[in-house]
Amino acid sequence: MPNQNDVRLQKFMAECGVASRRKCEQLIEEGRVKVNGHVAALGTKINPKKDIVTLRGKRIGRQESVRYIMLNKPRGFVTTVSDELGRKTVVDLLDGVKERVYPVGRLDRDSEGLLLMTNDGALANALTHPSYEITKTYRVTVRGKVEDEALQALREGVEIDSGKTAPCEVVPLVEETQRTVLEFKIHEGKNREIRKMLEHFGLEVIRLRRIAIAGVKLGMLKIGDYRDLNENELKKLFHACGMTYQPK
């Protein structure tokens, strides 16, 4: 009979800080997760007090402390916990962080700026779920001048390899002959979306930097540095996801 303490395996893994719930589901489907020595299937429920869960041979357990970190990601770092190609990862920048945190969403290797990292699987899952339409703000520098027709098309949505992009806000901040600085506010999380939108019009991206997520701003944090989020910032993130922040 089901036990009232039973929880879905992917939910338990996310709460332990392994990854977002969707990523945990992928790990289970790939056969990398075992429960009591047996390869687990998606849909498995466990009793955290009795069952032993392992990922690649290492036991998974709930973490005592929850961390919410803001990182100013530099270029040249991949947004993952580990990299099979041996490239530098964003985790390499977190000297002194004992908790096993992981990145919330993505920021490609050539981009920089605000990256949230946490071991709170529930919040990470909500922030990256399309249904919440979390607003992300970017400053993008492109080579040359951007015509008004292209600006309007960017706002309305353009066809890229993954389909038509959703309408977004695009505001020119600097318009010069040699370069244009644009501010994008988007609600999607498609891979390299802004770069592909601009490539559609033959525009070369010189710099792409994320400066805010759900009203939480990067501010003056230096490139490569990190800090813990404060209570007001956490309230903004939880509110954007329809959740109530409760200090842990």
Tell whether 125 and 224 lie within a shared domain: yes
pLDDT above 60: residue 7: yes
Domain count, the chain: 3
Ramachandran area for residue 61 (φ above 0: left; ψ -120 to 50: alpha; else beta): beta
Q: What is the pLDDT of residues 177-213, one digit of tens each?
A: 899 999 999 998 788 999 999 999 999 999 999 999 9
What stretch of H or E contains 123? helix 121-128
- Rounded CA separation 55/223 (Å): 33
Q: What CATH number did the domain enclosing 234 receive? A: 3.30.70.580
Domain membership flag for residue 86: yes
pLDDT above 90: residue 112: yes
- Rounded CA separation 105/124 (Å): 8
pLDDT above 90: residue 92: yes
Q: What CATH number did the domain enclosing 141 receive? A: 3.30.70.1560
Q: What is the pLDDT of residues 42-80, one digit of tens each?
A: 999 998 877 889 998 888 887 658 899 999 999 999 999
Does the reported pTM lie above 0.85?
no
Domain membership flag for residue 2: no
Tell whether 42 and 93 lie within a shared domain: no
Q: What CATH number did the domain enclosing 24 receive? A: 3.10.290.10
pLDDT above 90: residue 9: yes
pLDDT above 70: residue 1: no
Average pLDDT of the segment spanning 237-248 = 89
* 103 HSE (CA, 13 A, CB side): 22
Tell whether 145 and 190 lie within a shared domain: yes
Tell whether 193 and 223 lie within a shared domain: no
The mean of the pLDDT values for the chain is: 92
Please give the pLDDT value at position 64: 59
DSSP assignment of 142-180: EESPPPHHHHHHHHH--EETTEEPPP-EEEEEEE-SSEE
Tell whether 161 and 125 lie within a shared domain: no
Tell whether 87 and 46 lie within a shared domain: no
Tell whether 88 and 184 lie within a shared domain: no
Which amino acids are annotated catalytic?
108
Closest CA to 165 of 156, 152, 173: 156
Both tokens of 217, joined, read 């701003």
Average pLDDT of the segment spanning 18-28 = 91
Distances (CA, A) of 162 to 9, 27, 192, 204, 230: 30, 24, 10, 20, 36
Dihedral angle of Cα 174, 145, 212, 80, to the nearest 10 degrees:
-140
